[in-house]
């Protein structure tokens, strides 16, 4: 495989260094950016337009699924591989709904990450073995298993709910959104629950994608 530009996003410096060193074993693969949080990862992906973004699932500000969703909407040429310590059903659901084509457990990174990057760069999917077993075993059966349920003409949100959605989709935590709106964290969480109920969201990735597609946050 020829030249390939790669963005690495993980809030742990040692993990980023380890991934960078692993990628350096392949000729023509260049790390063009590193990010330590989800918001920075989105910004760098938009600015650098890398071929591949390797994203930690658990990052501050926006998790890997939310970042993947924004990249899928705003930088679709960038293929996404998500690194995670967890292979829970919810994590798998969020990663796949967000549009990531690769998922690798951190414990398997030495063995699987290079193969995942190659596969995604070739427009193929790559799942760490545990996830592949679940896919082949019938837990994930295409879109039927994890419908996105993104309704462009869904139940009407109140003006406050739209504002909460805008802040959360732009990368704010509930605490920061509460401070911005001068309301309690509990009130923000209540609005978030109402948003998820009205629009049938099951993850933050759903919320981010809906907010971008419906002009609630800017598409830059």
75-89, 110-124, 144-158: range with lowest mean pLDDT = 144-158
Domain shared by 83 and 173, yes or no: no
The token pair that represents 41 in the structure block: 């990862």
> How far does Cα 106 stand from its chain's mean position?
16
Domain shared by 123 and 163, yes or no: no
pLDDT at residue 42, rounded to an integer: 93
pLDDT higher than threshold 80 for residue 186: yes
The DSSP bridge partners found for residue 54 are 8, 81
Q: Are 35 and 61 in contact (CB under 8 A)?
A: no
Q: Is residue 146 domain-resident?
A: no
Q: Are 138 and 162 in contact (CB under 8 A)?
A: no
Q: How many domains does the chain have?
A: 2
Last residue of a domain, one of 140, 173, 200: 140
Give Cβ neighbours of residue 79 (< 8 Å, ≥ 6 apart): 51, 52, 53, 101, 102, 120, 121, 123
**H helical segments located in 85-217:** 89-97, 109-121, 129-136, 159-169, 174-181, 185-199, 204-213
Q: Is residue 11 domain-resident?
A: yes
Helices and strands (DSSP H and E) totals, the chain: 10, 6
Q: Is residue 154 domain-resident?
A: no
Mean pLDDT of 203-215: 76
CATH number for the domain that contains residue 103: 3.40.50.2300
The token pair that represents 120 in the structure block: 């995604």
Q: Which residues of 170-201 are buried (b: 16+ CB within 10 A; e: fewer)?
A: bbbebebbbeebeeeeeebeebbebbeeebeb
Domain shared by 93 and 121, yes or no: yes
**Tens digits of residue pLDDT in 81-103:** 999 987 777 787 778 778 888 99
Domain shared by 114 and 76, yes or no: yes
Q: Is residue 145 domain-resident?
A: no
The structure's pTM equals 0.67
Q: Is residue 147 domain-resident?
A: no
Domain shared by 184 and 134, yes or no: no
Q: Is residue 152 domain-resident?
A: no
pLDDT at residue 8, rounded to an integer: 98
Place of tokens 């019938």: 138
Domain shared by 18 and 123, yes or no: yes
Residue bearing the bigger pLDDT, 170 or 147: 170
Domain shared by 27 and 136, yes or no: yes
Q: How many residues does the chain have?
A: 220
Last residue of a domain, one of 113, 140, 167: 140
**Tens digits of residue pLDDT in 21-59:** 999 999 999 999 999 999 999 999 999 999 999 999 989
Q: Is residue 189 domain-resident?
A: yes
Q: Which domain covers residue 126, as residue numbers?
A: 4-140
pLDDT at residue 1, rounded to an integer: 56
Nearest to 97 by CA among 149, 173, 19: 149
Q: Is residue 218 domain-resident?
A: no
Q: What percent of the chain has pLDDT over 90?
A: 40
CATH number for the domain that contains residue 193: 1.10.10.10
The token pair that represents 9 in the structure block: 């996003």
pLDDT higher than threshold 60 for residue 138: no
pLDDT higher than threshold 80 for residue 142: no
């Amino acid at each position: 495989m020829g030249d390939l530009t790669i963005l690495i996003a993980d809030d742990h410096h040692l993990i980023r260094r380890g991934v960078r060193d692993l990628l350096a074993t392949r000729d023509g693969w260049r790390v063009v950016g590193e990010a330590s949080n989800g918001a920075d990862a989105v910004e760098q992906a938009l600015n650098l337009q890398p071929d591949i973004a390797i994203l930690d699932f658990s990052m501050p500000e926006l998790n890997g699924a939310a970042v993947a969703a924004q990249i899928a909407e705003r930088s679709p040429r960038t293929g996404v591989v998500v690194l995670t310590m967890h292979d829970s059903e919810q994590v798998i659901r969020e990663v796949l709904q967000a549009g990531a084509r690769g998922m690798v457990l951190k414990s398997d990174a030495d063995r699987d990450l290079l193969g995942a990057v190659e596969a995604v760069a070739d427009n193929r999917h790559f799942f760490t073995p545990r996830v592949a077993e679940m896919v082949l075993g019938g837990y994930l059966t295409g879109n039927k298993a994890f419908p996105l349920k993104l309704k462009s003409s869904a139940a009407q949100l109140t003006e406050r709910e739209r504002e909460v959605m805008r802040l959360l989709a732009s990368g704010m935590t509930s605490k920061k959104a509460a401070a911005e709106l001068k309301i309690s964290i509990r009130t923000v969480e209540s609005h978030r629950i109402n948003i998820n109920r009205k629009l049938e969201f099951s993850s933050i990735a759903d919320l981010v994608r809906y907010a971008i597609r419906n002009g609630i946050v800017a598409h830059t």
